[in-house]
Amino acid sequence: MEWLIVIALIAFGLALIIAEIIFVPGTTLVGVLGFGFLILGTGLSFRYFGSETGWVTVGCTAVAAGVVLYYSFSANVWGKFSLKTASHSKVNEGELDELIVGTEGQTTSTLRPVGKAEINNKTYEVKTSGEYVEAGKRIRVTKILLNQIFVEPIN
């Protein structure tokens, strides 16, 4: 039973260290926990089985850690988990394509100077050039820059 505890602690510690390196780099908490489990496992081997078996366990743990880490990095074991493609799209890409300068709409919130307006049956965040516009007022698109829609009230 003692061997099972020692081996389980060491194996779990190695798994946490590999998870730290491969899956969650930079957090250090997972790696520190893994190192703690390795220390606990080897420490219990000293306690349960004596000094000679404890040192053999330390050596075997070091060799196992080296082999596992080397194999993890060199054999591209984790390649099937890695992302092979890149996303080249942008947020809200093409959302403003149907809007042109001069399109009219109606504010759904107060513009101070930024608020919401409904234009062509879609709600957009719009901006005035500084004036205050009440909710429910008619507006006209005056300028479109990147993802900003500038409007003016229609009197």
Q: Which helix (H) or strand (E) holds 49?
A: helix 29-49
0.85 cut: is pTM over it? no
The answer on pLDDT for 94 being more than 80 is no
For 13-20, the CB contacts below 8 A with 24+ separation are: 13/37, 13/38, 13/39, 13/40, 13/41, 14/38, 14/64, 14/65, 14/68, 17/65, 17/69, 18/68, 18/69, 18/72
pLDDT at 28: 80
pLDDT tops 90 at residue 24: no
pLDDT, one tens digit per residue, over 70-81 is 887 776 766 766
Which residues lie below 8 Å from residue 110, measured CB to CB, with a gap of 6+? 132, 133, 134, 135
Asked if the model's pLDDT at residue 57 lies above 80, the reply is yes
Say yes or no to pLDDT of 26 above 80. Answer: no
Does pLDDT of 34 surpass 70? yes
